[in-house]
Structure formats: C-alpha cells, structure tokens
Structure 1
Amino acid sequence: MPNNNPITVDQLKSILDQFFNEKFGFLENILLKNKQLKEKIQILEERMDSIESYSRRNNIIVHGVPRQENENPLELALEICKTTGTEIESYEIDEAHRMPSRNREISPPFIIKLTNRFKKAEIMKNYKKKKITAEIWKGNSNNRIFFNDHLTKKKQEIFKKAKILWDNYLIWTREGTK
C-alpha cells in the first residue's frame, strides 16, 4: 500500500541537506585546505623575497658599459668603480659578471657584488655626484652609464608603482600652481 503522507518542505530540505553533505561534504575541507595553502605560499614568497633582497644588498647593476674583447670581469669591475672616484681593491669585490641577455645589439648589464655594503654605498654616492658617460670612461661612446641597486622582481614592481605615483604627483602639483 503506497504511502499517501505528503512530504513537507522541511523534510525535503532535510533529506537534500543530508544527501549533499554525504556526497559533497568533502569540498568544504578541500576549500579550507586550499585557503591555508594559499596563505602559506604568500608567507613563503615574502620570506623568499626577503632572503633574495638580503643576498643582493651588496650588488650594483651597471648599465651602458660597452662590451670589450676578452674582458676580465674583475678588472672591468675595478675600472668601473674607480671611474666613480672610489678607491677599491680586488678583495673588496666578491663577484663580477655580465648578466645574460638575448639582445646582441646592446651591451648587457654588468653586476658587481661587493664584500661589504659600506663600499657599495660609497660607490653609489660617488656615482651620483659624477655623471659618468661611456665616453669619459673609455672614450668610444657617448652613452650614459647607470648604476642601480639589484632589486628583486617584487621590489622592482613596488619601485615602478611608487615612481608612477611620484610622477603623477609632480604633474598634479605643477598643474595646480599654474
């Protein structure tokens, strides 16, 4: 004999809730675990960026240095630093090399890793006082030579955003004074 008792909405809701919890209840755990893993990845990325920044703090990237035949990276680094007016010895340079580049038309940047940050600060200070061109440096080009800190990708992005904001601020203040 068929059951003629009608099912109430609350009973149907209860049956459907039980069904979905049995069949798809595991999804809540997966979503929670996914959220936890995303948070952990963000923390690890921040720690990695901090470690990279720390390892690069004694580095200087030099752009615009013409490529030379049979260049010796250590001698070139000493020459570049001395051009700024900084006295430096070879033991104060930990490492020096060109960065890899696919563009053969321009000289790739040159990295100088110094043994201490005080020498780096001195070189950067002297560089800012003295505008160095490749012509002054080697007598064969008129290009400017630029010294920069060796920033991580994340710090470069922050720096670019800050520069854009600063440039916009300068434009806004100039327009406001007209």
Structure 2
Amino acid sequence: MNFFNKTFEDMKKEFVTAQEERNAMKKENAELRLKCDESENMIRELHQRLVQCEQYSRRSNIEIRGLVETDGENVTDLVMKISNAVGEAVRCDEIEACHRVPTREAGKSTVVVQFKSRQKRDALLEMARKKCIRNSQVGIKSEEQIYLNDHLCPTLKRLLTLALARKREFKWRFVWTRNGKILHGKWNQPISSASNPENDLWKIV
C-alpha cells in the first residue's frame, strides 16, 4: 500500500510541476505575442510615416505619361506647351525642375515636373483633368493621349495598381488620385496607404 501511495504522490507532484511549466509557457507565449503585436504596430506606424514623408516631398510635382519622346527635345518647353493646351499657362520661371524618368517599357518614359508653387501645380492638374490632350497639340506627330497625374511615391503607386485591379474586378465606376490620396468610386473616400495595402483594399470591397 505504501508503494502505491508513494507512486501516486510522485505522479501528483509530476502533474503539478507539468501544469506549472505549462502555465509558465502560456504566460511567456502571451507576453511574446504582445511584444510581437506591439512591434508590428510600430513598424506599420513607421512605414506609414515614411510613406507620408515621401509623398509630402512630391507635393509640388506632377507626373506626365504618354508624352512621346523625340530626339533633341526640350522637355521644359513641351511642359509649357501642354499647359497652354489645357488653358493654364505655365512660365519657365515657375518650374523648379523637369526631367524624364525611365520606365521598364522602352520608349515609355514619364516626365516629372516640380513646380515652385504648389498652387500652380494644383491649378494645372485641375484644368488637365477636364481636357483630353494629345501629342499633336504640342507639335509631336502622334495622336497618343497625354496624361497629367499626381506624382505618387512607390508605395502609393503600388496601391494604385491594386486599386485599379479591384476597380475592374468589382465594377467600381472610378479610381483616381488627388493630393497624394487614392480615391475610389464606391464610397468616394480615400483608400488607406498603410503598410499592407492588399488588406485595406479587401476591407472596402
């Protein structure tokens, strides 16, 4: 009988010890999970701030797509011709910088224009959105359309690509950008630019 009592007590002690170890591991896991969540939130917040800073640095810029590249071109002169075509004339001294940016597609480089005044940039964009401009209107032998848009940072460009894919998939009427924000025609509100844009897009479907 003493043998069975001792065996039972030993098993009981082992069970209590195992239970205590299990509880300690659960507590440790909970603490680690909390730290992991806090770290993820901090990373997400830092990424959001980085996106905001990158986009803020582009607040006076526009991006021009569809402008056919020609030999010996003067890009600044072409920008002024585009501005005349849309009805919001831009002078050379109102432009801080103007240059082409290569893309993955040969012959499809974009033009980035930085204005000295954000007000001038906004006025030009507003007029350009109301008109269809073609290369022939600036002296280039092409009827390809020219597009003037916000100059988005890489994260927001990626988000815009995803938003356009959702537009086709879910029959949204519009997706557009304004002042560095991507808006959609379902609710006419901005799409988040958080560090996980795919999740943000699924939330608004």
TM-score by length of 1: 0.74
Q: Which residue of 2 aligns with 1:44?
A: 46
Cα distance change, pair 10–91 in 1 and its aligned pair in 2 (3 A): farther
2:160 maps to 1:156: yes
Larger relative contact order, structure 1 or 2 (CA cutoff 8 Å, min sep 6):
1
Cα distance change, pair 10–62 in 1 and its aligned pair in 2 (3 A): farther
- Quote the sequence identity (%): 23
Q: Which residue of 2 aligns with 1:174?
A: none
Equivalent residues in 2 for 1:14-163, closer than 5 Å:
14-20=16-22, 26-104=28-106, 106-152=107-153, 153-154=155-156, 156=160, 159-160=163-164, 163=167
Q: Number of paired residues? A: 168
Residue type of the partner of 2:173? D
Name the CA distance, whole Å, in 2 between partners of 1:10 and 1:162.
Answer: 60
- Between Structure 1 and Structure 2, which shows a larger proportion of strand residues? 2
Residue type of the partner of 1:135? S
- Between Structure 1 and Structure 2, which shows a larger proportion of helix residues? 1
Moved more, 112-121 or 36-45: 112-121
Residue type of the partner of 2:134? T
Measured against aligned partners, the alpha-carbon deviations of 1:73-107 in whole angstroms (never above 9, x if no partner) come to 43333333233232222221122121221321x32
Measured against aligned partners, the alpha-carbon deviations of 1:28-75 in whole angstroms (never above 9, x if no partner) come to 443322211100011112212222222222221111101121334433
Residue type of the partner of 1:53? Q
Cα distance change, pair 118–15 in 1 and its aligned pair in 2 (3 A): same
TM-score by length of 2: 0.66
RMSD: 3.2
Q: What are the ranges of 5 or more consecutive residues in structure 2 without an aligned counterpart?
A: 175-184, 186-205
Residue type of the partner of 1:67? E
Cα distance change, pair 167–147 in 1 and its aligned pair in 2 (3 A): same
Q: What are the ranges of 5 or more consecutive residues in structure 1 without an aligned counterpart?
A: 171-178
Name the CA distance, whole Å, in 2 between partners of 1:135 and 1:14.
Answer: 85
Cα distance change, pair 46–7 in 1 and its aligned pair in 2 (3 A): same
Moved more, 106-115 or 74-83: 74-83
